[in-house]
């Protein structure tokens, strides 16, 4: 939610300029540990490299969009780690193509269903793993807004800051993929993979994205009740292009309780060869039952 430009005094009814608005700007958070001016991270074939994104001392950052230019084969994984709370924002490494819009990402960035708050001098670590057996280079950007609080009078943002800090304890953006890598045999039908919602918190799913070697059908099944949320659907009927630039947005967000298992059942529509599938659900993780603090 954007900061309103004007506010109304509840007692007098008078409208005035919102002073906080003067100290909030759009901002792009880029890597600080590369030692170069290009922001490009080189990832050798099948190797692991990481970057650190840290807001400066002038104030916190609230991230809203993700992009990541990839120079080379796009088969590269990423893991996002919140240093402040020492927790990952995903169940395991996720394919970049499904959560960070590749070139031209600025025209169609991947919009997070839940913004991510980073205090000044705290960090978000992005760890990249090449899967392509060839050298890759990536240039990630976290798009959002910056609060220039060192320049503002004391107390101007106390209420907003307290709410956002409390909210970050309870809920964050989160990504789930299958528990293990998925390869469908030629013409295979009914191949299943699990997505396990751990006991750390509930999950509200908003979007699905995917990347695969070829066409396939899928359905999602509640592992506890056996209830399917659909019949077998051709992937392009829901995910479109499938990647982060063209996600499928659920018509109704799907609340999945912790300690539940979702079954992804797939039919390989390629009769001549195997089909690797990377399937991602994006949403928000709810770590705590004290929801009243964020409503």
The answer to whether residues 78 and 110 touch, using CB atoms and an 8 Å cutoff, is no
Read off the DSSP letter of residue 179: S
In a shared domain, residues 224 and 126: no
In a shared domain, residues 76 and 215: no
In a shared domain, residues 37 and 143: yes
Which of left, alpha, beta for 70 (phi over 0: left; psi -120 to 50: alpha)?
A: beta
DSSP sequence for 228-268:
BSSS-EEHHHHHTT-STTSPEEEEEEEEE-TTEEEEEEEEE
Would 1 be classed as within a structural domain?
no
Distance linking the first and last C-alpha atoms of the chain = 14
Total structural domains within the chain: 2
Residue in the structure block whose two tokens are 């030692």: 35
Cα–Cα nearest to 109, from 66, 138, 141: 66
Whether the per-residue pLDDT at 39 is higher than 90: the answer is no
In a shared domain, residues 190 and 156: no
Q: Max alpha carbon distance in the chain (Å)? A: 74
- Identify the residue with better confidence: 288 or 47: 47
Q: Please tell me the predicted confidence (pLDDT) of residue 27.
A: 94
Of 171, 202, 217, the residue at which a domain comes to its end is 171
Would 259 be classed as within a structural domain?
yes
Q: Please tell me the predicted confidence (pLDDT) of residue 78.
A: 96
In a shared domain, residues 274 and 163: no
Whether the per-residue pLDDT at 238 is higher than 80: the answer is no
Would 154 be classed as within a structural domain?
yes
Cβ atoms within 10 Å of 176's Cβ, excluding its own: 24
In a shared domain, residues 133 and 33: yes
Q: Please tell me the predicted confidence (pLDDT) of residue 157.
A: 81
CA distance 290 to 212: 39
229-236: list long-range contacts, CB under 8 Å, 24+ apart.
229/254, 232/265, 232/267, 234/269, 235/210
Cβ atoms within 10 Å of 120's Cβ, excluding its own: 16
| Cβ-count burial 18-39 (b if 16+ within 10 Å, e if not) | eebeebbeebebebeebeeeeb
Predicted structure pTM score: 0.90
Tens of pLDDT, residues 64-91: 999 988 887 779 999 999 999 999 999 9
Of 171, 196, 227, the residue at which a domain comes to its end is 171
In a shared domain, residues 28 and 147: yes
DSSP sequence for 153-213:
PTTTTHHHHHHHHHHHHHEEEEEEE-SS-EEEPTT--SEEEEEEE-TT-EEEEEEEEEEES
In a shared domain, residues 281 and 155: no
Would 2 be classed as within a structural domain?
no
Residue 228 C-beta-side C-alpha neighbours within 13 Å: 10
Of 171, 187, 220, the residue at which a domain comes to its end is 171
Read off the DSSP letter of residue 228: B
- Identify the residue with better confidence: 47 or 6: 47
Tens of pLDDT, residues 135-156: 999 999 999 999 998 877 888 8
In a shared domain, residues 150 and 196: no
* Length of the chain measured in residues: 295
Whether the per-residue pLDDT at 237 is higher than 60: the answer is no
In a shared domain, residues 163 and 227: no
Confidence grade of residue 294 (pLDDT, cut at 50, 70, 90): low
158 is in which domain, residue-wise?
A: 14-171
- What CATH number should be reported for the domain holding residue 229? 2.60.120
Tens of pLDDT, residues 201-210: 999 999 999 9
Q: Per-residue pLDDT averaged across 217-235, rounded?
A: 85
Would 245 be classed as within a structural domain?
yes
Would 4 be classed as within a structural domain?
no
């Amino acid at each position: 939610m954007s900061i309103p430009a004007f506010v109304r005094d509840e007692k007098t009814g008078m409208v005035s300029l919102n002073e906080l608005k003067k100290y909030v700007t759009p901002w792009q958070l880029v890597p600080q540990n590369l030692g170069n001016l290009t922001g490009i991270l080189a990832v050798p074939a099948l190797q692991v490299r990481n970057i650190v994104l840290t807001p400066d001392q002038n104030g916190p950052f609230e991230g809203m969009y993700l992009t990541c230019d990839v120079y080379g084969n796009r088969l590269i994984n990423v893991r996002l780690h919140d240093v402040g709370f020492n927790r990952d924002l995903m169940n395991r490494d996720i394919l970049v193509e499904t959560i960070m819009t590749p070139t031209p990402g600025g025209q169609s960035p991947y919009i997070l269903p839940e913004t991510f708050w980073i205090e000044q001098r705290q960090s978000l670590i992005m760890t990249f793993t090449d899967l392509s057996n060839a050298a890759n280079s990536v240039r990630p950007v976290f798009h959002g807004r910056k609060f220039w609080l060192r320049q503002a009078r004391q107390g101007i943002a106390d209420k907003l800051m307290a709410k956002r800090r409390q909210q970050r304890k309870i809920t964050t953006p989160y990504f789930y993929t299958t528990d293990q890598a998925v390869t469908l045999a030629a013409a295979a039908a009914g191949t299943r993979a699990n997505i396990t919602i751990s006991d750390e918190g509930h999950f509200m799913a908003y979007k699905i994205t995917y990347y695969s070697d070829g066409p396939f059908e899928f359905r999602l099944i509640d592992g506890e009740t056996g209830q399917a949320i659909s019949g077998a659907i051709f992937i392009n009927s829901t995910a479109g292009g499938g990647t982060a630039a063209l996600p499928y947005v659920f018509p109704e967000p799907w609340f999945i309780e912790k300690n539940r298992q979702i079954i992804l059942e797939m039919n390989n529509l390629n009769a001549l060869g195997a089909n690797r599938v990377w399937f991602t659900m994006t949403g928000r993780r709810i770590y705590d039952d004290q929801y009243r603090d964020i409503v």
